[in-house]
Amino acid sequence: MNIAVFCSGSGTNLQAIIDAHKRGDIKADLKLVVSDVPACLALERAKKAGIKTLIVERKDFKSKEDFEAEIIKNLNKEKIDLIVLAGYMRLISTDFVNQYKNKILNIHPALLPSFKGTHGIKDAFEYGVKVTGPTVHFVTQDMDAGPIILQGAIKVTEDDTEESLAQAIHKEEHKLYPRAIQLFVEGKIKIEGRKVRII
């Protein structure tokens, strides 16, 4: 199975995926890392691991459709079976999602359906929740709304700061995401309507 990982930033989840792959905990090929942000740390991590990289910047294309067509062309070239969004801070169009139906995963740093969007950790912390944590889910046309594969629960203590909470959530993400990817690779994830069954 060929995997492409999409990133826009520091790529700590990508690193966790690379490390899990090296340990043999993800039994698939990490074929391509796609980034819409040139010179992000994620690209450095990919290069260091010897993974092919692709930089596609939105500003270089007239429309979102053209921008995504360039990405899809490269995914086809690499025969990608699974797309893993790891801190990719762009919404994927409905057309793109439909072309890779049930083959795009995302990680979100809050317990969905709470605190969707780009500030999941901050929003949960400021709301005063007592438990939060990352969610791995399928990507559908609605943002952060696809069937949930795995979630990790993190207790928020009175001593926590937004930073300490972020650290705990990231640590959990780095365990959860490789596990979810390997479940997908093994064909153990079954979608039944809104629900996911791990078989």
Q: Which residues contact ligand GAR (rule: CB under 6 A)?
A: 7, 9-13, 42, 86-87, 107-109, 118, 120, 134, 170, 173
What CA–CA distance (Å, rounded) separates 192 from 80? 24
Closest CB to ligand GAR among residues 134, 147: 134
Place of tokens 């795009």: 104
Q: Are 87 and 9 in contact (CB under 8 A)?
A: yes
| Of 146, 140, 139, 137, the residue nearest 183 (C-alpha) | 137
Closest CB to ligand GAR among residues 72, 145: 145
In the chain, where does DSSP find H-type helix?
A: 12-23, 41-48, 64-77, 94-99, 120-127, 162-185
Residue nearest to ligand GAR (CB): 87
**Angle at the Cα of 116 (from 112 to 121), degrees rounded to 5?**
90
Closest CB to ligand GAR among residues 91, 198: 91
Report the nearest approach of ligand GAR to the CB of residue 198 (Å).
Answer: 21
Closest CB to ligand GAR among residues 118, 164: 118
Report the nearest approach of ligand GAR to the CB of residue 9 (Å).
Answer: 4
Closest CB to ligand GAR among residues 71, 109: 109
Q: Are 17 and 177 in contact (CB under 8 A)?
A: yes
**91: Cβ contacts below 8 Å, ≥ 6 apart:** 143
Which residues are known catalytic residues? 108
Report the nearest approach of ligand GAR to the CB of residue 38 (Å).
Answer: 15
| Of 192, 190, 181, 191, the residue nearest 82 (C-alpha) | 181
Number of H helices, E strands in the chain: 6, 11
